[in-house]
Amino acid sequence: MIPFTAFAEVVAYAAGAALLAGAAGVSALYALRGRSIATLLAVVSAATVLATVAGIVAITLKMLISDHDRSVALTVTVIGGLVGLGVSLLLGHRLIGGTRSLLVSVRRAGESGRFRLPERRLPAELAELGTELSTAYENLDAARARERALESSRRELVAWVSHDLRTPLAGLRAMAEALEDEVVADRATVRQYHAQIRAETDRLTAMVDDLFELSRIHAGALRLSRQRVGLGDLVSETVAGTEPLARAKGVRLRGQAQGALPVEVDAAELGRALRNLVVNAIRHTPEDGGVEIVAGAEEGMAYVAVSDACGGIPDEDLPRLFDVAFRGEAARTPGGGAGLGLAIARGIVEAHAGQIGVSNAGPGCRFIVRLPLGA
Ligand SMILES: Nc1ncnc2c1ncn2[C@@H]1O[C@H](COP(=O)(O)OP(=O)(O)OP(=O)(O)O)[C@@H](O)[C@H]1O
Ligand SMILES: [Mg+2]
């Protein structure tokens, strides 16, 4: 039995020596902080062995154990330390292998744009890092695809718009020249030319106006002056504004609202979006067909649905309908629209935190706009 004071002394010596060894280990870790994980793990093993050896030496100095015991203790410690070092190196090797394979995956992703997780089993943290990287690359991929689609639709838009503007401008010029040179002189033709020049000018003005609206939407510069209005009133106004077009085409137009439906919207902008939907519906509905606008509330959202008798839209066109400059085959005829109406409608509805969608229904298709209901 060793006396208490001697025991306390041994503890103090051993702790002091271990602390010194620990401090040396920490300093070494700091100095080597940029080195490989394997080196750092070797330092940890070395510090542990050093602390134990320092403790044993401290006890020997107090002459509490015999030389023989000391040799045995030191040998055991060194063997233990060597085994520990081996295990550390093995762990370091595994970590380095995992990191390298992750690095290879990242490099390959840089070349191919597709990230594939390494096949080997990674330690939890590296596996988590790999999963995060995988998600990040997927998001990046999706963003790139969106960017490409937007870019190509912009290019198409420029091509189509310049074509759409050039054709009527050439016609206007030809008519103006004919009038100027008095190539046409009979009153009826002159009147017809004047009317045509006016109509074409109106169409071009509307197209330029649409382009301006679209560029404001894309630039995020759409300033909404929101007011509380009843969605039913907006529907009535839209019906009143598009009635002459429907009558001229022989299409029955009907508007209907269920309830008060208060919404906080920019009435002018939302009216424009609804008008675009209704004008499309009338344009694509044959004579004697019907167009119906219904406003209501559902699951805490207000909605306006515009149904027509267009005969259905091809399924492959449905997802692209709201793209800038998209026009169905039949619509790509001279005098048709520029393919801006639905893109504008979507931009306006989304600026109001709403959603717009389309589906085939009944004798035609149904566009539906959902908006948050005002409190
Ligand atoms: N109610 C509808 N019924 C059938 N097809 C539709 C309807 N609304 C839109 N489409 C199809 O979607 C295309 C895009 O519509 P959008 O309103 O964006 O352009 P547009 O009417 O051709 O031209 P713009 O509106 O610029 O004058 C149309 O060309 C047409 O093919
Ligand atoms: Mg349109």
* Among protein residues, the one whose CA lies closest to atom 29 of ligand 1: 327
> What is the pLDDT, as a whole number, of residue 64?
65
What does the pLDDT read at residue 372?
95
Give the atom of ligand 1 at the shortest distance from the alpha carbon of 343. Answer: 18
pTM: 0.65
365 touches ligand 1 (CB under 6 Å)? yes
284 lines ligand 1 (CB under 6 A): yes
Which residue's C-alpha comes closest to atom 10 of ligand 1?
Answer: 280
Paired strand residues for 257: 295
Provide the residue-wise pLDDT of the chain in tens; the chain has 375 residues: 667 887 788 788 888 888 988 999 999 999 999 888 888 888 888 888 888 888 877 777 776 677 788 888 888 888 988 898 898 889 889 889 999 999 999 999 888 878 888 888 888 999 999 999 999 999 999 999 888 887 887 787 788 778 778 888 999 999 999 999 999 889 999 999 999 999 999 989 988 899 889 888 888 888 899 999 999 999 999 999 999 999 999 999 999 999 889 999 999 999 999 999 999 999 999 999 999 999 999 998 999 999 999 999 999 999 889 988 788 775 555 556 788 999 999 999 999 999 999 999 989 999 999 999 987
- 39 vs 34: CA distance, rounded Å: 10
Amino acid residing at 190: V
Q: Report how far Cα 91 is from the mean position of its chain's Cα atoms.
A: 40
Which position has the token pair 């306390």?
8
Ligand 1: which atom is nearest the Cα of residue 328? 31
* pLDDT number for residue 335: 55
CA 338 to centroid of ligand 2, rounded, Å: 8
pLDDT at 352: 95
Q: Is 313 in the pocket of ligand 1 (CB under 6 A)?
A: yes
pLDDT for 1: 62
- Closest atom, ligand 1, to C-alpha of 327: 29
If one residue of 204, 213, 217, 280 were mutated to test the ligand 1 pocket, choosing by the most ligand atoms within 8 A of its CB, it would be 280
| CB of 338 closer than 6 angstroms to any ligand 1 atom | yes
Q: In what order do the strands lie in the sheet with 301-307?
A: 252-257, 290-298, 301-307, 364-372, 355-361
For the stretch 313-320, contacts whose Cβ atoms lie closer than 8 Å and that sit 24 or more positions apart, written own/partner, are 313/358, 313/360, 313/365, 315/360, 318/358, 318/359, 318/360
Regarding the beta carbon of 280 and ligand 1, being less than 6 Å apart is answered yes
